[in-house]
Structure 1
């Protein structure tokens, strides 16, 4: 059986989804500008791990529980929205920096574990990500496709997601970009805070 057409369908659909602006992109952007490359890459790894869980339960057919149970879906929506609101409020409270800009002393930088957890929760608690994979696999993957091949699709999507957001981290942690941000970053941080609140509101509109 030729799995190439199936793989290309999966790969293109996922590439379009991961490249579109959303909570994942916004959190990596904020981590990059505010805390630097290492924090942003750990956050990207967390996003990839969250994504792998969506993929795993979608492939196993457990996603039907999420779509058919209004209680479970509502709980995920409210948890995801609450987490985005928390991030948004923290960003809105950002104060202007005082004194000279020092890229080596990014204040309040989270630990690697905390950065990973931030990315993990932003992705895992996003019901839009869950519904994307729950809808994608039944439409694009044949029931006859071996589980090992399906797992390969999941590994591909996880790795390309981490690679994409790591690339975003590298781009936005260039010295000149971060230096400009740290001079006037409280305005960008506050704008991103409003974006997170907007994403939270959009989650609650999911029917």
Structure 2
């Protein structure tokens, strides 16, 4: 039972973090609602692979080296903040275009047509969104350094990383699956401009805060 305690605590903290709305959550909601189940699940896989890499870097000490190098960590923050800002601007533009098409009664591309381009990009978009998030680096570094003992066996550390990865994928994939049920999908399609707008606002807010902290350090 004592050996299970770190794993139970690790999973509990991680699940609470997964349930908190953030860039990963918004990315799944926005893209699963618009492009369908396959794209949503693929993005979930990309996000979970980003979490897997963060976990590996944290448990091997690589993340600590990045964190302790101010210039390198600042570069990561700038890249992450800029990417989230770019996602937010894109989502906002998409929301405005959809509202314009709706008001002008312009036909928008069918979900099947939209899916073709996004299917190839979904995995990369999910992975990039997570791996470039500097908050994720700090979170997993703190989580694993605190809850995984340094003297834990290699098998134990591999188990901890695997649990984080599998839990992340199952959560985001389940979210994508639920959002793409037939009835809910029809309603979501009607609300797509507003979902894009809210997700865009979230991306822009988080990205801007990250960049502002670089320019105006406390």
TM-score of the two chains, using structure 2 as the length reference: 0.87
* Cα distance in 1, alignment partners of residues 191 and 25 from structure 2: 20
Aligned length: 207
Do the aligned partners of 2:35 and 2:111 also contact (CA within 8 Å) in 1?
Answer: no
Measured against aligned partners, the alpha-carbon deviations of 1:87-112 in whole angstroms (never above 9, x if no partner) come to 11111112225467897535355343
Q: Cα offset for 1:191? A: 2.1
- Structure 1 counterpart of 2:31: 31
- Answering whether residue 150 of structure 2 is matched by residue 137 of structure 1, we say no
SS class of match (1:107)? helix
Match of 2:125 among 112, 118, 122: 118
Match of 1:170 among 177, 195, 205: 177
Report 1:99-118 matches (<5 A).
Answer: 104-105=111-112, 107=114, 109-118=116-125
Q: Cα offset for 1:133? A: 1.2
Specify whether residues 102 and 179 from structure 1 end up closer, same or farther in structure 2 by C-alpha distance, changes over 3 A only.
Answer: farther
* Cα distance in 1, alignment partners of residues 188 and 142 from structure 2: 39
Question: What is the aligned-residue RMSD (CA, Å)?
Answer: 2.1
TM-score of the two chains, using structure 1 as the length reference: 0.91
Do the aligned partners of 2:54 and 2:131 also contact (CA within 8 Å) in 1?
Answer: yes
Specify whether residues 26 and 109 from structure 1 end up closer, same or farther in structure 2 by C-alpha distance, changes over 3 A only.
Answer: farther
Match of 1:182 among 162, 185, 189: 189
Report 1:73-112 matches (<5 A).
Answer: 73-94=73-94, 95-96=97-98, 97=102, 98=105, 104-105=111-112, 107=114, 109-112=116-119
* Cα distance in 1, alignment partners of residues 79 and 133 from structure 2: 9
- Answering whether residue 63 of structure 2 is matched by residue 63 of structure 1, we say yes
List 4+ stretches of structure 1 deviating above 4 A. 97-104
Mark the runs of 5 or more structure 2 residues left unpaired by the alignment: none
Mark the runs of 5 or more structure 1 residues left unpaired by the alignment: none
* Cα distance in 2, alignment partners of residues 191 and 2 from structure 1: 44
- Structure 2 counterpart of 1:13: 13
